[in-house]
Amino acid sequence: MRKMKFSRIALLLVGASTFFACQTENNEQVNEAAQSNVSPEVIAKLADFDVNVNNVKKVDFLLPDGKTIPMIQMESDIHMPEEQALNLPNLQELSGRNYHTNNLVAQNTVINIIGYTGGGGFGLSNKAQTALQWAVNNYNRLNLSISFNLTYGTNYQPQDMVVYNNPNESGSGGSAGFPSGGAPFKFVQIYGLEGFNTNVNEHVITHEIGHSVGFRHTDYFSRQSCGQNVNEGAGSIGANPIPGTPSGYDPTSIMLACFSGSTDGEFNNNDVTALRYLY
């Protein structure tokens, strides 16, 4: 779901199950022309931090008002400004599993999050609004050192985070980014989810918010949930293992790279352990 990835649908068959990634299959291919637009300095910086640079490219990141801003895209559903990529910190050495980035949200932070309700296809449907409420509840019920104050409307500029629909993406999924300067990544997109139930919408939103507060994919080392065997890289922004979480594949984590249409949208016990460790 999430390389700061904005996905289209990646339809992957594993056994008899269907999984959806935060990015489309087409986006998973190396785009040489797009990658050539990323400066060698940025590519070298990401490579130094073990990011898989085969799928790094500059994209026009769509905002809720229809404007775009340039972003670097990696791992299909993760995005960051070029300046942030150039200023990535050194990797930290920790032990455990479940993975987080080097940059986190400052402790004791109330995150003002808005569900966008404007027009032009950018507004959240009633289903997505309910799913966003459920996703916020997932975090707030854990009594972490970060919490979310949810509102709905169109005045997203002063808010810390905005969740909105991207009407220009094909497929189904979401995208976000990683924290910077103690603040969460502001823009959380979803797309192509109206045909899924509220639990799936909840899952994708909860997952992308997870990226925005500093979580990597639980299976970043293999993307096994997508039926792949590809290492996303130990971490441009770090892939630091979290003590108390399992070292192997965790098939029910909300932070898996791909999601199933039967997901319940809830954290598993290891996700909760990881959140409480960090926050």
**Domain assignment of residue 187, given as a range:** 4-278
Q: Is 225 helix (H, G, I), strand (E, B) or coil?
A: helix
Range with the lowest mean pLDDT among 6-20, 32-46, 105-119? 6-20
Range with the lowest mean pLDDT among 50-59, 128-137, 254-263? 50-59
Query: Between 246 and 166, whose confidence is greater?
Result: 166
Q: What is the pLDDT of residue 21?
A: 57
Q: What is the pLDDT of residue 126?
A: 98
Range with the lowest mean pLDDT among 109-123, 173-187, 211-225? 211-225
The arithmetic mean of pLDDT across residues 125-144, rounded, is 97
Total structural domains within the chain: 1
Query: Between 40 and 211, whose confidence is greater?
Result: 211
Q: What is the pLDDT of residue 24?
A: 31
Q: Is 69 helix (H, G, I), strand (E, B) or coil?
A: strand
Nearby residues of 269 by Cβ (< 8 Å), 6 or more positions away: none
DSSP 53: G
Q: Give residue-wise pLDDT tens across range 53-87.
A: 777 889 999 999 999 999 998 767 778 888 888 87
Asked if residue 205 has pLDDT above 70, the reply is yes
Q: What is the pLDDT of residue 188?
A: 98
Asked if residue 6 has pLDDT above 80, the reply is no
The arithmetic mean of pLDDT across residues 104-114, rounded, is 93
The arithmetic mean of pLDDT across residues 18-45, rounded, is 53
Banded model confidence at residue 99, pLDDT cuts 50, 70, 90 = very low
Asked if residue 10 has pLDDT above 50, the reply is no
Asked if residue 217 has pLDDT above 60, the reply is yes
How far is it, in rounded angstroms, from Cα 219 to Cα 223? 5
pTM of the complete model? 0.75
Banded model confidence at residue 109, pLDDT cuts 50, 70, 90 = very high
Residue 207's nearest CA partner among 215, 196, 219 is 215
Asked if residue 91 has pLDDT above 60, the reply is no
CATH number of the domain within which 119 lies: 3.40.390.10
Asked if residue 28 has pLDDT above 60, the reply is no
Q: What is the pLDDT of residue 232?
A: 57
Q: Is 27 helix (H, G, I), strand (E, B) or coil?
A: helix
Banded model confidence at residue 48, pLDDT cuts 50, 70, 90 = low
Q: Give residue-wise pLDDT tens across range 137-150.
A: 999 999 999 999 99
Nearby residues of 256 by Cβ (< 8 Å), 6 or more positions away: 1, 217, 218, 219, 225, 250
Asked if residue 14 has pLDDT above 70, the reply is no
Start-to-end CA span in the chain (Å): 23
Query: Between 199 and 225, whose confidence is greater?
Result: 199
How far is it, in rounded angstroms, from Cα 82 to Cα 70? 8
